């Protein structure tokens, strides 16, 4: 390998360090109008009337629109098309978009929004999971779902769960809560639209140009070929820019109405309202084990606070029950999940999508079981680790798996077993797994998930792909793969990405799918190109490696004419034979293990993380620097969630939609991180590669809580671990109560009878199916 | 993008002229020095003014006399935090200046501005749209306090790091009004009211802060906040102690972020006079200091926990002074 | 709020020294330096994350010191030297900090990068070999959500090593 595996600079590095990268808000085409959105001040209200006449009279205002102008509903999942770009019937959270203005200046647009008179009939807001399970005082938030404000209920059972519990020598139940939090990308969402010659062009800070393309087509009632969506330089997503958003549709509509470019950049406060972040999840878990800690059965329940709309929520719900089995060998498993609607900004996918919450519960639950049995928690977890090339009880296909090696690395480096036991100092260990791309698309289709085209001519090589560089390094991965195959450097490869007019489809930068899926498509296209060039060069009597690429290109072009190749990637059909099996399967899973070392002050409850060791099985690091960057960033975000970040509400509205009060760790709050890259050479990943961008977040919060227990002897069963919770847990211990801070109980939820699914045959051969 | 309202910007050449302008424009005008407190609040429409009076003319030096040190109000917080004389003679003050917000804000924010920093409340320091949704409060546009609805007053929190230290140091500010100059002890600059938190006349400009050095003076400031940077204090303790050997002859303790003004803990100061800073004395003094602190549910983290933390920050500040004299128990 | 846009705008003619070039501008006094740089001078390398002084994204240098352009009024900056990310490189040669950030992957999404680079430049101009603690302190007003700061720390150290 010449470039794969080397710590090369990113291909977009120079653009970003010079300020030349053009983000959506940096664009200001001639005659641009500025758009502001009027949002609901009520968490739950019927809209009686909207009077825009005064706003239209403000000098400088060119257009004012309401929901009547954009009545068609959309949504990321086909089953939950429940959003409108502008709502004219009902507001469902503080911040729900109601009307929009295009004006010559942003301040004029804002003043015009202020002049819009909306008459509301205020309804009782529903602000918690418990309240959503009860009968609504006024009316339900959404018209679908139910009973009450329940959005979705699922219940699945794999194998003989009752039998598993019956043969257990020890059974334990625990309840956990994972508070909601948000992505907080440094860049606020922004979009610019033009309408020229009957065609809409939209530049947006999105993770998925294709899904925005589809939503625009639906709501604007324009065929897809009359819409072009281009991903602008991207200032951070973490899942928060994966849905199609109201402002993207609004600027397109306003451009159509005014014939001028229209831009909308959300304020930081509006970003908190756009949200789609981590669901707050209440969890109950019951596990049976043998005397030596082998799991015999598990029953997991989740209740997700979904906010006001569907977003990715149905998938999120399934994800809270899907991956438990991918790290631990659970022979019988029952999962009951529930998502409710509340009058808050909708929750959706944030880094780890639906899986950090159950991972937190699972890791701490097993810690407690081990202590019940007087077993070493690390040893007990390891006894249950999944093995490579197996199928889990819920039919998930595990291929390469470096769990053991990951655990070895961090345990050895941190000297976990030799740690000094002093009060106030603690270490905690946890593991996790994540998908390398979802095995099924958001909307049902048989087409590839990613496509790459390569063009070679006497001017060089260009690769085209719909994948979106969001800072994770996807452009560099594509360039590296093409360069490796053609014998070039990544910087020699020109890239055209994330443009629905000029690039073939890729489903976008979410679910950690780009390296695996776009990478495989690029590999196929590049190998085909190489074959053409090799044939042309060899026809001239030489070897490909002996001629300069420029000459190979000339020979190829002379022999074959225009040189283009294409590759595509479609994940294997590996989902299990049951309804709901589409969430969870992935062509490969990454694995991580982590140790956190911290000091916790019993007097103040303040926790100071000293160091984090993390090992990540990435299959194969196409660029180890980028992998480290993803791992370190994941640890950062995991620590933020574990210790300080929370999206909370007070009296119906977001308590602190600002970067001052929503606590994102600063440079001084970040401990040293020692990263170990574990390579297991996945059989289906490009050069053996798997994901790195999300999985390493997951073990961090439970490792923090395990370390707090190690330091102080109290369990903090919900995150964030704020000092007041630690102090309260210590107070309870002193009073002789259970030494714990966390949710007291799990609510009663009307789960349907579980669908019983026969597990796959428990032999390695099944993996090949 | 959040933008400022359309305002005029006046550029007086001297404090007297600035004060005259302020008197002329009344409530429609405000002074602006570093702008780090005022401009965000204007963007959030927390003040309705149409005129800003720039204080760019303010001198920016730290002048050391044999006894008194005069810090011009225009000195930035970062300069104050690094000034060798301040670090030497008034370590707690330099420390407090260096703990305000974040490095780029300290490069703009001034010591005069930090003395005058507006009281804060997480029902108030929000955008106009948010406050409209929450229901406006007493401090701006509304008629009730959202933190304590039954209370007739505003409970916004004094959030200056340097003001408590200046009070503990018995600092004196110079004020220039339209009619002349006067001096005021820093402690007399404040009122226990979230809205009318300053006792100076609105048209008076703070031009300097005078601190008096003493060879036996020890100071310390301890700030509690969630993150290592950016955040306002959620509790803070400023201590100045005048010592005779290892015995405290006089001591002043002032707290940040537990009331609508920098709160002096007089009982703690009085208790310490004549005592040595041993562990038990420090603990008792901290207990006394914490008593008058009344944090409410309008800042970061819970108010019960913040109340509990007052003792801790006072103990730590006293402990540091004790360290300077050789540690606990001398 | 409603009547604000009906007020007259006070405009001043200013000469701003940006990246060593004197630029004469007619600016409304209520426009912040951030807005003037981005909208009137097309220097869009300066980004913004909150416009309230809470994130550090819009950091520029004023007389060599990091300041937040979202809280600075151009009318207060007459005669002072303003440096933005566009002024960091010498011609087509990257500043050592820029080179180190690019090399080590210290810029992921790149959005906080201009502010980080300028804060780091100010640090290294004052203190050629800062300790890790000093680097963290100096950059503590600049939030980053991608990197966990690790590669940024390494890049500043690498650049410092190369510059001395």
d(CA B236, CA B94): 15
Chain B neighbors (3+ CB pairs < 8 Å): A, C
Which chain C residue lies closest to A636 (C-alpha atoms)?
Answer: C148
pLDDT tens string A685-729: 999 999 999 999 999 999 999 999 999 999 999 999 999 999 999
Rg (CA), chain B: 19
Give the C-alpha separation, B306 to B327, whole Å. 27
Neighbours of chain C (3+ CB pairs under 8 A): A, B
Per DSSP, the three-state class of C90 is strand
C145 vs A236: CB contact, 8 Å cut-off?
Answer: yes
Rounded CA-CA distance C48/C36 in Å is: 13
Alpha helices in A63-136 (DSSP H): 106-114, 129-133
What is the structure's pLDDT at A765? 45
Helix/strand/coil percent split, chain C, to 5? 40, 20, 45
User: Cα–Cα distance between A709 and A712 in angstroms, integer?
Assistant: 5
Residues near A403 by Cβ (< 8 Å), separated by ≥ 6? A327, A385, A386, A431, A433, A591, A593, A617
CB contact under 8 A, C48 and B228: no
Among A154, A53, A156, smallest CA distance to A112 is for A53
Give the model's confidence band at B67: pLDDT under 50 very low, under 70 low, under 90 confident, else very high: confident
Q: For residues A448 and A567, give the distance between their C-alpha atoms in angstroms, rounded to a whole number.
A: 10
Nearest to A658 among C39, C45, C50 (CB): C50
* CATH T-level assignment (fold) for domain C4-87: Ubiquitin-like (UB roll) (3.10.20)
Q: What angle do CA A237, A240, A244 make, to 5 degrees?
A: 110
CA distance C5 to chain B (A): 7
Alpha carbons A598 and B106: distance in angstroms, whole number:
30
Residues 21-40 of C with CB under 8 A from A: 38-39
Residues sharing a CB contact under 8 Å with residue A561, sequence separation 6 or more, in sequence order:
none
Cis previous bond, A147, omega within 30: yes
Distance from CA of B105 to the nearest CA of A (A): 13
Asked if A612 and A700 count as a contact pair (C-beta separation under 8 A), the reply is yes
CB contact under 8 A, C143 and A14: no
Selected for mutation to probe chain C from B49, B52, B81, B103 (highest C CB count within 10 Å) is B103
Which chain A residue's Cα is nearest to B134?
A653
Subunit contact A668:B226, Cβ cutoff 8 A: no
Taking an 8 Å cut-off on Cβ atoms, the answer to whether A727 and B308 are in contact is yes
The pLDDT of residue A344 is: 98
Delineate the domains of chain B, giving CATH numbers in brackets: 216-330 (3.30.390.50)
What residues are paired with A524 via a beta bridge? none
Cα distance between the two ends of chain C: 53
Residue A390 parent element (H or E): strand A390-391
Give the one of B8, B40, B229 whose C-beta lies nearest to C10's C-beta: B8
Nearest to A17 among C39, C102, C143 (CB): C102
- What mean pLDDT, rounded, does chain B reach? 96
Residue A769 has pLDDT above 60, yes or no: no
Residues of chain C with CATH 1.10.150.120: 96-163
pLDDT digits (tens, 9 = 90+) for A236-294: 999 999 999 999 999 999 999 999 999 999 999 999 999 999 999 999 999 999 999 99
What b-and-e string marks burial along B240-268, b requiring 16 or more CB atoms within 10 Å of the CB?
bbbbeeeebebbbbbbbbbbbbbbbbeeb
List the single residue in C with minimal CA-CA distance to B56. C76
Q: What is the pLDDT of residue C5?
A: 74
All CATH 3.10.20.30 domain ranges of chain C, comma separated, are: 4-87
Q: Which two tokens stand for residue A215?
A: 């939503």
**A602: contact with B, CB 8 A cutoff:** no
Cβ contact C5–A632 (<8 Å): no
CA distances from A73 to A216, A554, B48, C163 (A): 11, 52, 40, 57
Q: Taking Cα atoms as reference points, which of A484, A587, A559 lies closest to residue A527? A: A484
Q: pLDDT, tens digit, for every residue of A118-146?
A: 999 999 999 999 999 999 999 999 999 99
User: For residues A465 and A454, what is the distance between their CA atoms, to the nearest angstrom?
Assistant: 9
Contact residues on chain C for A635, CB-CB shorter than 8 A: 148
Nearest C-alpha of chain B: how many angstroms from A192?
A: 14
- Is the CATH number 1.10.150.120 carried by domain C96-163? yes
CA B183 to chain centre: 18
Is residue B329 predicted with pLDDT exceeding 50? no
Position A95 confidence tier, pLDDT thresholds 50, 70, 90? very high
Which of A11, A12, A13 is the best substitution to test chain C (most C C-beta atoms within 10 A)? A13
How many contacts, defined by CB atoms under 8 Å, are there between B and C?
A: 105
Q: Is the dihedral of CA A459, A463, A469, A475 positive or negative?
A: negative
Number of H-type helices and E-type strands within chain C? 5, 5
**A168-173 average pLDDT score:** 98
ipTM over 0.85: yes
User: Contact C138/C120 with Cβ under 8 angstroms?
Assistant: yes
**A380-403, pLDDT tens digit by residue?**
999 999 999 999 999 999 999 999
**A668: number of Cβ within 10 Å:** 16
- Identify the helix (H) or strand (E) that includes residue A150: strand A150-158
Residues of C with CB under 8 A from a CB of B: 1, 4-5, 7-10, 12, 28-32, 34-35, 48, 50-54, 56, 59, 62, 65-68, 70-73, 75-76, 119, 137-143
Distances (CA, A) of A762 to A298, A664, A665: 17, 45, 45
The pLDDT tens digits for A617-664 are 999 999 999 999 999 999 999 999 999 999 999 999 999 999 999 999
| Domains of chain A with CATH codes | 29-123+186-236+241-274 (3.90.1170.50), 281-440+578-757 (3.30.365.10), 448-569 (3.30.365.10)
C141 DSSP 8-state letter:
T
CA distances from B29 to A332, B9, B35, B51, C8 (A): 71, 10, 14, 5, 16
What 8-state DSSP symbol labels residue C86?
Answer: G
Residues of B with Cβ-Cβ distance to A646 under 8 angstroms? none
Task: Report in angstroms the alpha-carbon separations of A418 from A427, A607, C83.
Answer: 11, 22, 51
pLDDT (tens, 9 = 90+) of chain C, 164 residues, equals 455 777 889 999 999 999 999 999 999 999 999 999 999 999 999 999 999 999 999 999 999 999 999 999 999 999 999 999 999 999 999 999 999 999 999 999 999 999 999 999 999 999 999 999 999 999 999 999 999 999 999 999 999 999 98
List subunits contacting chain A, requiring 3 or more Cβ pairs under 8 Å. Answer: B, C
pLDDT of residue B287: 97
Average pLDDT, chain A: 97
- Give just the sign of the alpha carbon dihedral A359, A361, A364, A369: negative
**What does each C-alpha distance from A617 to A628, A692, B274 come to in angstroms?**
12, 8, 64
| DSSP type of residue B26 | G
Query: How would DSSP label each residue in A607-639?
Result: EEEEEEEEEEE-SS-SSHHHHHHHHHHHHHHHH
The chain C residue lying nearest B1, using CA atoms, is C51
3-state secondary structure (DSSP) of residue A337: strand
Residues A8, A11, A17, A23, Cα dihedral to 10°: -150
Interface of C with A in 46-85 (CB under 8 A): 46-52, 54-55, 57, 84-85
């Amino acid at each position: 390998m010449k470039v794969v595996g080397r710590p090369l600079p990113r291909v977009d590095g120079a653009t970003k360090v010079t300020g030349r990268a053009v983000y959506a808000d940096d664009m200001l085409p001639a005659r641009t109008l500025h758009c502001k959105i009027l949002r609901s001040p009520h968490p739950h209200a019927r809209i009686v009337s909207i009077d825009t006449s005064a706003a239209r009279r403000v000098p400088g205002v060119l257009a004012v629109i309401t929901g009547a102008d954009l009545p068609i509903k959309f949504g990321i999942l086909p089953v939950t098309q429940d959003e409108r770009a502008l709502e004219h019937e009902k507001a469902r959270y503080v911040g729900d978009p109601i009307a929009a203005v295009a004006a010559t200046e942003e301040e004029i647009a804002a003043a015009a929004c202020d002049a819009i008179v909306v008459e509301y009939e205020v309804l009782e807001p529903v602000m918690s999971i418990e309240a959503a399970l009860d009968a609504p005082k006024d009316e339900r938030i959404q018209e679908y779902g139910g009973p009450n404000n329940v959005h979705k209920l699922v219940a699945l059972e794999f194998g003989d769960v009752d039998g598993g519990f019956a043969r257990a020598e020890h059974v334990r139940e625990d309840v956990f809560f994972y508070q909601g939090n948000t992505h907080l990308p440094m860049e606020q969402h922004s979009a610019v639209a033009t309408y020229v010659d009957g065609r809409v062009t939209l530049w947006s800070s999105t993770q998925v140009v294709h899904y925005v393309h589809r939503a625009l087509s639906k709501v604007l009632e324009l065929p897809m070929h009359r819409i072009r969506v281009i991903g602008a330089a991207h200032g951070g997503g973490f899942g928060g820019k994966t849905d199609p958003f109201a402002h993207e549709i609004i600027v397109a509509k306003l451009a159509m109405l005014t014939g001028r470019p229209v831009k909308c950049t959300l304020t930081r406060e509006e970003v908190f309202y756009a949200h789609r972040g981590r669901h707050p999840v209440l969890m109950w878990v019951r596990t049976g084990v043998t005397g030596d800690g082998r799991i015999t059965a598990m029953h997991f329940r989740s209740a997700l606070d979904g906010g006001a709309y569907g977003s990715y929520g149905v998938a999120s719900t399934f994800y809270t029950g899907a991956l438990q089995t991918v790290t631990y060998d659970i022979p019988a498993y029952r999962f009951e999940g529930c998502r409710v609607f509340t009058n808050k900004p909708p929750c959706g996918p944030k880094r780890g999508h639906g899986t950090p919450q159950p991972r937190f519960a699972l890791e701490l639950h097993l810690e407690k079981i081990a202590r019940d049995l007087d077993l070493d928690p690390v040893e007990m977890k390891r006894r249950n680790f999944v093995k490579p090339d197996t199928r889990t009880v819920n039919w998930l296909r595990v291929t390469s798996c470096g769990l053991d090696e990951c655990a070895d690395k961090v345990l050895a480096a941190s000297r976990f077993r030799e740690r000094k036991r002093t009060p106030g100092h603690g270490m905690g260990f946890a593991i996790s797994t994540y998908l390398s791309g979802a095995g099924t698309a958001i909307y049902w289709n048989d087409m590839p998930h990613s496509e790459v085209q390569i063009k070679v001519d006497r001017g060089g090589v260009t690769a085209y792909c719909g994948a979106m560089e969001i800072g994770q390094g996807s452009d560099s991965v594509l360039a590296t793969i093409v360069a490796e195959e053609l014998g070039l450097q990544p910087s020699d490869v020109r890239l055209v990405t994330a443009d629905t007019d000029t690039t073939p489809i890729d489903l976008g930068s979410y679910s950690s799918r780009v390296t695996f899926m776009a990478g495989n498509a690029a590999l196929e296209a590049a190998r085909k190109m190489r074959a053409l060039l090799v044939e042309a060069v060899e026809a001239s009597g030489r070897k490909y490696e002996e001629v300069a690429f420029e000459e190979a290109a000339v020979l190829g072009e002379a022999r074959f004419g225009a040189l283009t190749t294409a590759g595509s990637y479609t994940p294997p059909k590996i989902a299990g034979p049951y309804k709901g099996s589409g969430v969870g399967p992935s062509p490969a899973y990454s694995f991580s293990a982590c140790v956190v070392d911290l000091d916790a002050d019993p007097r103040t409850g303040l926790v100071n993380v000293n160091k984090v060791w993390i090992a990540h099985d990435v299959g194969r690091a196409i660029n180890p620097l980028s992998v480290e960057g993803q791992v370190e960033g994941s640890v950062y975000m995991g620590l933020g969630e574990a210790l300080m970040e929370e999206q909370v509400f007070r009296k119906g509205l977001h308590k602190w939609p600002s970067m001052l009060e929503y606590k994102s760790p600063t440079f001084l709050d970040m401990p040293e991180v020692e990263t170990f890259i574990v390579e297991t050479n996945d059989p289906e990943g490009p050069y053996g590669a798997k994901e790195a961008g999300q999985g390493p977040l997951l073990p961090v919060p439970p490792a923090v809580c395990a370390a707090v227990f190690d330091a102080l002897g109290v369990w903090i069963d919900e995150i964030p671990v704020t000092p007041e919770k630690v102090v309260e847990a210590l107070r309870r211990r002193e009073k002789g109560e259970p030494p714990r801070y966390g949710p007291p109980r799990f609510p009663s939820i009307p789960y349907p009878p579980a669908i019983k699914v026969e597990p796959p045959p428990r032999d390695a051969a099944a993996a090949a199916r | 993008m959040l933008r400022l309202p359309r305002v005029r910007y006046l550029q007086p050449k001297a404090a007297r002229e600035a004060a005259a302008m302020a008197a002329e424009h009344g409530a429609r005008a405000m002074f602006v020095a570093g702008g780090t407190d005022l401009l965000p609040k204007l963007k959030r429409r927390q003040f309705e003014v149409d005129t800003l009076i720039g204080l760019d003319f303010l001198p920016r030096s730290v002048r050391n006399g044999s006894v008194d040190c005069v810090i011009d109000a225009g000195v930035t917080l970062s300069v104050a935090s690094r000034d060798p004389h301040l670090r030497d003679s008034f370590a707690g003050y330099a420390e407090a200046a260096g703990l305000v917000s974040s490095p780029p804000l300290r490069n703009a924010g001034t010591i005069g501005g930090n003395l005058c920093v507006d009281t804060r409340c997480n029902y108030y320091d929000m955008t106009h749209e948010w406050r409209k949704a929450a229901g406006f409060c007493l401090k701006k546009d509304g008629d009730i306090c959202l933190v304590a609805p039954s209370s007739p007053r505003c409970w916004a929190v004094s959030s200056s790091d340097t003001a408590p230290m200046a009070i503990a140091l018995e600092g004196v500010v110079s004020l220039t009004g339209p009619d002349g100059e006067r001096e005021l002890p820093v402690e007399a600059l404040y009122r226990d009211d979230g809205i009318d938190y300053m006792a100076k006349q609105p048209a008076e400009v703070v031009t300097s802060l005078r601190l008096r050095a003493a060879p036996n003076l020890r100071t310390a400031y301890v700030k509690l906040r969630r993150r290592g940077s950016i955040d306002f204090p959620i509790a803070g303790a400023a201590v100045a102690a005048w010592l005779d050997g290892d015995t405290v002859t006089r001591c002043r303790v002032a707290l940040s972020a537990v009331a609508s003004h920098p709160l002096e803990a007089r009982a703690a100061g009085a208790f310490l006079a004549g005592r040595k800073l041993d562990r038990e004395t420090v603990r008792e003094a901290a207990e006394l200091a914490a008593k008058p602190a009344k944090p409410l549910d309008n800042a970061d983290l819970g108010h019960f926990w913040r109340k509990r933390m007052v003792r801790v920050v006072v103990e730590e500040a006293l402990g540091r002074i004790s360290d300077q004299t050789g540690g606990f128990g001398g | 709020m409603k009547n604000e846009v009906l007020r007259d705008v006070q405009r001043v003619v200013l000469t701003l020294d940006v990246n060593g070039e004197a630029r004469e501008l007619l600016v409304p006094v209520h426009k912040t330096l951030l807005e003037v740089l981005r909208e009137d001078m097309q220097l869009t390398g300066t980004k913004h994350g909150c416009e309230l002084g809470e994130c550090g994204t819009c950091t520029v240098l004023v007389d060599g010191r990091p300041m937040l352009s979202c809280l600075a009024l151009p009318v207060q900056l007459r005669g002072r030297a303003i440096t933005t990310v566009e002024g960091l490189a010498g011609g087509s040669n990257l500043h050592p900090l820029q080179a180190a950030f690019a090399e080590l992957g210290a810029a992921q999404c790149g959005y906080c990068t201009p502010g980080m680079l300028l804060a780091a430049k100010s640090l290294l101009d004052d203190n050629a070999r800062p300790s890790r603690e000093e680097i963290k302190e100096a950059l503590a007003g600049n939030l980053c959500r991608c990197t966990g700061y690790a590669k940024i720390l390494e890049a500043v150290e690498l650049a410092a090593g190369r510059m001395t």
